[in-house]
Amino acid sequence: MKKDFIAVADYSPEALQGLLDLAITLKKEHAQGGNQPVLKGKVLAMIFQKPSLRTRVSFDMAMRHLGGDALYLSPAEIGLGQRESIADVARVLAGYVEGIMARVFEHQHVLELAQWASVPVINGLSDYNHPCQAMADALTIVEAFGSMKGLNVTFIGDGNNVAVSLMHVCAKLGANFTLASPDGYDLNPQAVKLAQSFAAKSGSTIRLLRDPHEAVKNAEVIYTDTWTSMGQEAETKKREAVFPPYQVNAQLVSEASPEAIVLHCLPAHRGHEITDEVADGPHSRLFPQAHNRMHAQKAILVHLMA
């Protein structure tokens, strides 16, 4: 049966832990002289509806390190679901390449690609979730603390696609997840129900709060993201009026655990959701986290395509 990587929720805790262990192994192997060319002769097609720095470069370099190639397809080249149906794009590409990664606006588009493609499909981001980011986040947390189990992970800001995948990986791997968001910017209710069912099995908790100060008490991980995601530009002014109390600044970080690390999936709007003092300060893990996109995705690529 064909394997895909569409959502953290699709994988068992054991499978997710296996991917993290593989990512750690591949990262060490790369540092010690390079990865084995286990994807030699294989090509990953990368479909982009949205621009990207980290997703594009991390997948491209991951394929190179593993002996394969990556093929970038810009928004203009495909016009997914516009110039040609998604089903047709999926079936055509599957005859050329060994894997497809798609960074899309609508989650339905990546689901349709996976339905019609006979090769593995990886969700590089959708409006619902961002599972590759969550694996890099989990890898960064495990590197800092040894395990996710029992940790307090707090997301401050918009209950967006990044928050959904982070919540699911926390619930699966036994970390306590807290979201502090303004009224009207809550997590997808279905995603929360799923997380609660995972948390019940792992023994972790899900808390949804309004007060960021309450949310960071005893937090070992503080996570934030842009107040306005791509595709929401029309809401920028409205959001900039609502979110300032949710800025991750030195005061907020001082209210968390002394060992707390700060994460951000980037790009960061410095002076908005995070201050320079925090982004460049001793608690920040922003850049190791960004680099871990490549290592976590290597594990996903090996799992799906080797």
Identify whether the C-beta of residue 134 lies closer than 8 Å to the C-beta of residue 169.
yes
Does the annotation count 265 as an active-site position? yes
| Catalytic residue chosen out of the listed positions 54, 283, 285, 293 | 293
Three-class SS state of 142: helix
Instruction: For residue 8, count other CB atoms closer than 10 A to its CB.
Output: 31
Report DSSP letters for 15-64, one per residue: HHHHHHHHHHHHHHHHHTT----TTTT-EEEEEESS--SHHHHHHHHHHH
Helix 86-94 to helix 107-116 angle, to the nearest 10 degrees? 50
Query: How many Å separate Cα 75 from the centre of its chain?
Result: 21
| Catalytic residue chosen out of the listed positions 60, 170, 225, 297 | 225
| Catalytic residue chosen out of the listed positions 130, 264, 272, 285 | 130
Does the annotation count 133 as an active-site position? yes
Does the annotation count 232 as an active-site position? no
| Catalytic residue chosen out of the listed positions 109, 127, 170, 265 | 265
Question: Distance between CA atoms of 152 and 292, rounded to whole angstroms?
Answer: 21
| Catalytic residue chosen out of the listed positions 133, 247, 289, 297 | 133
Does the annotation count 293 as an active-site position? yes
Residue 77 burial by Cβ neighbours in a 10 Å radius (0-12, 13-18, 19+):
exposed
Question: Distance between CA atoms of 176 and 204, rounded to whole angstroms?
Answer: 5
Question: Distance between CA atoms of 257 and 141, rounded to whole angstroms?
Answer: 14
What does DSSP assign to residue 101?
E
Residues recognised as catalytic? 103, 130, 133, 225, 265, 293
